[in-house]
Amino acid sequence: MSQRDTHVVVAVDGSDRSIALLDWAATYAATVGADLKVVTTWQLPDLPGHRPARAEYDVSTTLERRLADLVGQTCTGVPHEVVLEESDTVSLLLREAEDADLIVMGSVPDSHDKQLSRVTQKVLLQAPCPVVVVPSPR
């Protein structure tokens, strides 16, 4: 990533909704001359006494390829970095946003109610910088 003064972090999960979110964040970053950090997390379910390394590798490799395609198509001309980590989403976003000027997240409601997702709520409450919540396309 370059040494620009403005840093934007965007949370992406590879879904169609997050592609629109990445596009919004890339457009914003280009407009204000910011760097863009694309953050994606993943977690394998805990299976008692069993953690296959192959499954972990497959998930990581698949996500890396998907993200490379998305970012390559969307972030042309915007200095960017991709952070892909097996981690708790909130913890990773907050850690990666420590020096950020803005966090960009989606507004996908939980399936049980119409409020913001729990991840978005937690980031809004703990963020070290402003958070933009982009509505899902209808």
Residue 20 inside a domain? The answer is yes
- The helix (H) or strand (E) run that includes residue 69 is helix 53-74
Average pLDDT per consecutive 10 residues, the chain (138 residues; last block may be shorter): 79 84 94 95 65 57 78 88 89 96 83 70 95 83
Confidence at residue 63, expressed as pLDDT on a 0 to 100 scale: 74
* Residue 127 domain boundaries: 7-134
User: Does 1 fall in a domain?
Assistant: no
DSSP 131: E
- For residue range 13-49, what is the model confidence (pLDDT) as tens digits? 878 888 889 999 999 999 999 999 999 887 666 556 6
Has residue 2 been placed in a domain?
Answer: no
Q: Is residue 45 part of a domain?
A: yes
Please answer whether residues 1 and 80 qualify as being in contact, where contact means their C-beta atoms are separated by less than 8 angstroms: yes
Q: How many domains does the chain have?
A: 1
- Assess if residue 71 is contained within a domain: yes
Tell me the C-alpha distance between 24 and 3, whole Å.
22
Six token digits for residue 45: 């379910």
Domain assignment present for 43: yes
Domain harbouring 104, CATH code: 3.40.50.620
* Residue 98 falls inside a structural domain: yes
Longest dimension (CA), the chain: 49
- Half-sphere exposure for 65 (CA within 13 Å, toward CB): 5
Q: How many helices (H) and strands (E) does the chain have?
A: 4, 5
Flag whether 40 is in a domain. Answer: yes
* Backbone dihedral angles phi then psi of residue 91, each to the nearest 5 degrees: -60, -45
CA–CA distance, 122 with 117 (Å, rounded to integer): 9
